[in-house]
Structure 1
Amino acid sequence: MWGKITSHIGVWLGLEEAERPMRASCSLSMIHHPQLTAVRNSKSSENLHRITTMSPQRIQDVDGSPSTRKTSSIFTLRRSRNKEKKYKNNGSNKSPLSKNGTEMTQSWHSNNVNGTSSGSGSGSTPEHHNKNIFSFLSRQSRSRSNNPSESLSTVTHKTSPSTMPPPPSSNTVADFTHLRKRRPRSAHYDPNTITLPAKEEVTPQDVNDLYKRIDKLGEGSYATVYKCESKLDGSIVALKEIKLQFQEGLPFTAIREASLLRNLRHANIVSLHDIFYQHHQLTFVFEYMKMDLSKYLEQNVYGLDSIDIKLLLFQLLRGLDFCHRKKILHRDLKPQNLLLDEDGVLKLADFGLARAKSVPSRTYSHEVVTLWYRPPDVLMGSTDYSTSLDMWGVGCIFAEICTGTALFPGSKDSHYPGTKDQLDMIFSIRGTPDEKKWPEVKNLPSYNPEIFPRYRELSFIAVNPMFTKILKTGQELLGMLLQLRPESRVSAASAMLHPYFASFPREIHLLAPSQSIFRLRELRDLRSL
């Protein structure tokens, strides 16, 4: 459509040339100019604008009478800088669009504004007309150059002194603000122009205004735990207050616990509801649990019933398996860090020593886990451990809830210095390490087989007759958890599939992580806590 329109315009004005037809990309801003007509042939590296005055038939004087001015045609060529250099190197300033060897064009990129630009037109000579120079292009050049001086174009316009206003000075720039503005290069918004709404200021709430303290549950080396009631809905929660010491900063255990518990949402892992930082202390809001496993064992000095042992052990394995699937090691499993509610639900707590293990690393500390629940490889200085570290602790807790006492109660005051007494307690029951079955033991920093007697492995019933309550399958699972060689210990996922739990319904393995095992009716009837 634009091709036909521009073609007709060229025919009317007598500007149509056979060798140079007009294209559809004609500059409408020039066509709409009251006294100029422009035809533009454009390419990516070369743009041509042909500026002509109107024919005598289409131009009228100010009083309405037809003008006798003649038509003139002047060309302005905008070449790419590469082609300009080519012409300059050849020593010729002639344009490929010149006629009769005379230059008809002038580069838009010229920094000099000449007042004598040459032109040619039918029946016109420079002596018959005034030569006026206009910088008619006020918009930025379409070339890649950002120099404003390169965006000016000069054109010679021949007028009649009787009908045209006096010519402007050489420093005058024509006003073309009424013309159509160029479409922006990109439709993307400038990020500097995007205005974001102002954030609403929220006044921080005081933890004392939200919770009412009822009782103190315990006090540790760096934190104190209170039983509190919510003033909003009356629910019971546990507040863990961590005092921040001047020059010491925030304890690393609190940072780890907060960062890890955010991503651990499981029915057998304690829930972190909220965090407050005020009054020079950090306060964690946890769900409230009735007691921990250590206090519950104090009420049952001879251990728990067989069904309670099985229910608690399965919940412990289930929560720990969820952590291991998330590449998180607890590293501090003991009865004090296992919480119980009044419905018999067990939950893992105190992730202060926990650490994410996404890739293999040898930078872990060997001083983790309470001494009685620390595996022999870590006691001998191993720092290359994985989930097997937690599985040894599961075995120690399994044995303790069966008998009511710790299986390996080592003492630092014995005739063996440091951790040697703890290793002697382990080897006296599980046997001295066999280098043929555990060849990696020779590379451990603290391994010295000469200081320990040659012990033989004992059966669990020989150690304590209370192990009879877990039957043969339970003793077999306990032996798989308490293997001296870390690679031989059973995983949490495999332990839940052991025949020891064959009496549980199969649907227990299909529960969602957020669902408790007591969702199943068969297990609700078995609990006796």
Structure 2
Amino acid sequence: MEKYEKLEKVGEGTYGKVYKAKDKATGQLVALKKTRLEMDEEGVPPTALREVSLLQLLSQSLYVVRLLSVEHVDGGSKRKAAAAAAAEGAGAGEGHGGAVGGGKPMLYLVFEYLDTDLKKFIDSHRKGPNPRPVPAATVQNFLYQLLKGVAHCHSHGVLHRDLKPQNLLVDKEKGILKIADLGLGRAFTVPLKSYTHEVVTLWYRAPEVLLGSAHYSIGVDMWSVGCIFAEMVRRQALFPGDSEFQQLLHIFRLLGTPTEKQWPGVTTLRDWHVYPQWEPQNLARAVPSLGPDGVDLLSKMLKYDPAERISAKAALDHPFFDSLDKSQF
């Protein structure tokens, strides 16, 4: 890791610490993700290798944060080398041997660095000296890019499972939005607690996940996309629950309590209880500045039955995007 100069810790991702760093050779800013892939004597576990090669494949999309390289830091080799040199009388100094020190071998993922995310972007329109709506053209543009990225992941059989504004990085200069923290999502289930034991936000989590469904598919990501779409328009979360139960109640109050007719099998899901019977509200009232096409697209993303939810690929062809110049993508 001598190639990189660590500048600051920028956060704790779901699966490990994240540092802002500089590539000493090129001056390029990068995000270093230290993963908790405990490597054994045999080296990197095969599941991890598969995931990393998948991440590399996915990051060929402009709308997924680019994985620039993967660095394998062998915890013990430096000390062994120093000890060998000392034994040969080369007199390797203490300082030299302890550069990385012993400890477990680690895998670092090196990503391109972007300085802002969609949460900060929305916050900047909601708070501060100049509160203003996110321009309709920006909402349309960012949603289209998000759908491009999600469609790309889904076409390779990858679910993100934790899409939220904090995981969508924004390049303000170029007006590009990129999906990040595609964790090492296959090896882990939906994270309940983050790496630092903060409670992971439930606001974007699909009802089938909240209700303990054993099987879920691309619909989980499309529900999250719907919540993010609404949040760009409203500048505040659509369903801000602080527990799984409260989260479901937020959803049921707006969309109505789901029935077997709407969503076959819902009452047999593991965590289903008998809930108050709410009637569906008019979705347009929750997103007052959104036109009829936008409301129609949102309603298709927030269908209760995951099998009925619109796919990312189909959403790209929705009339909501008719006025968008798609040649730029």
Shared fold, TM over 0.5: yes
The equivalent residue for 1:486 is 306
Which of the residues 28, 32, 42 maps onto 1:235? 28
Q: State whether residues 227 and 288 of structure 1, in contact with CA within 8 Å, keep that contact through their aligned partners in structure 2.
A: yes
Does structure 2 conserve the Cα–Cα contact (< 8 Å) formed by 1:229 and 1:237? yes
Q: CA deviation at 1:365?
A: 5.1
Instruction: Check 1:487–1:307 CA distance in 2 against 1; reply closer, same or farther (3 A cut).
Output: same
Q: Distance in 2 between matches of 1:345 and 1:286?
A: 16
Look up the SS of the partner of 2:267 in the other structure. Answer: helix
Alpha-carbon spacing, 1:253–1:308, altered in 2? closer, same or farther (3 Å): farther
Larger relative contact order (Cα-Cα within 8 Å, sequence gap ≥ 6): 2
Cross-structure match for 1:137: none
> Which residue, 151, 157, 164 being the options, matches 1:327?
157
Alignment partner, residue 317 of structure 1? 147
Q: What is the 5 A alignment of 1:11-50?
A: none
Q: CA deviation at 1:299?
A: 1.1
- Corresponding residue for residue 408 of structure 1: 239
Offset from partner CA, 1:460-481 (integer Å, 9 cap, x none): 3433xxx233211101111110
Whether 2:120 is the aligned partner of 1:300: answer no
Instruction: Check conservation: 1:256, 1:352, Cα contact below 8 A.
Output: no
- The CA distance in 2 between the partners of 1:277 and 1:367, in whole Å, is 25
Alignment CA distance shift 1:504-1:460 (3 Å): same
2:268 maps to what in 1? 443
**Deviation of 1:306 (Å):** 0.7
Counterpart in the other structure of 2:71: 276
Whole-angstrom distance in 1 between the partners of 2:159 and 2:56: 15
User: 1:443-462 to 2 correspondence within 5 Å?
Assistant: 443-448=268-273, 450=274, 452-462=275-285
> 1:245 offset after TM fit, Å?
7.0
**1:289-309 deviation line (CA, Å, top 9, x unaligned):** 121111222212165111110
The alpha carbon displacement at 1:498 in A equals: 0.6
Q: Cα 1:348–1:274, aligned 2, differ >3 Å: closer, same or farther?
A: same
Whole-Å separation in 2 of the counterparts to 1:420 and 1:252: 37
* Match status 1:503 vs 2:323: yes
- Relative to the length of structure 2, the TM-score reads 0.78
Cα pair 1:366 1:379 within 8 Å, conserved = no
Structure 2 CA distance, aligned partners of 1:377 and 1:475? 22
Could you say if the C-alpha distance between residues 319 and 242 of structure 1 is closer, same or farther in structure 2, counting changes exceeding 3 Å? Answer: same
Residue ranges of structure 2 left out of the alignment (5+ in a row) = 74-99, 127-131, 193-199
Instruction: Report sequence identity in percent.
Output: 42
| Residue identity opposite 2:18 in structure 1 | V
Report the Cα offset of residue 506 of structure 1.
5.1
Q: What SS is found at the alignment partner of 1:396?
A: helix
**Most deviating of 216-225 and 384-393:** 216-225
CA distance in 2, matches of 1:479, 1:238: 36
CA distance 1:367–1:220, change in 2 (3 Å): closer
Cα deviation digits, residues 388-437 of structure 1 (max 9, x gap) = 1110000011111111111111123xxxxxx2221111000000112222
Shift of 1:218: 2.0
The residue matched to 1:469 in structure 2 has which SS?
A: coil
**Of 305, 324, 346, the match for 2:177:** 346
Offset of residue 350 of structure 1: 0.7
Partner of 2:77: none
Alignment of 1:325-474 (within 5 A): 325-342=155-172, 343-352=174-183, 354-355=185-186, 370-412=201-243, 419-448=244-273, 450=274, 452-463=275-286, 467-474=287-294
TM-score (norm 1): 0.49
SS at match of 1:215: strand
Q: Which of 251, 254, 261 is 2:55 aligned to?
A: 261
User: Mapping of 1:193-204 within 5 angstroms?
Assistant: none
Q: Residue 347 of structure 1: CA displacement? A: 0.7
Which is helix-richer, 1 or 2?
Answer: 2
Q: Is the 8 A contact 1:399 1:406 kept in 2?
A: yes
Change (3 A) 1:470 1:251: farther
Distance 1:400 1:252 in 2: 39
Distance of aligned partners of 1:245 and 1:427 in 2 relative to their CA distance in 1, 3 Å threshold: same
What's the CA shift for 1:221?
A: 6.5
2:177 is aligned with what amino acid?
A: L
Distance 1:323 1:221, change over 3 A: closer
Q: Following TM superposition, by how much is the alpha carbon of 1:250 offset from its aligned partner in structure 2, in angstroms?
A: 8.1
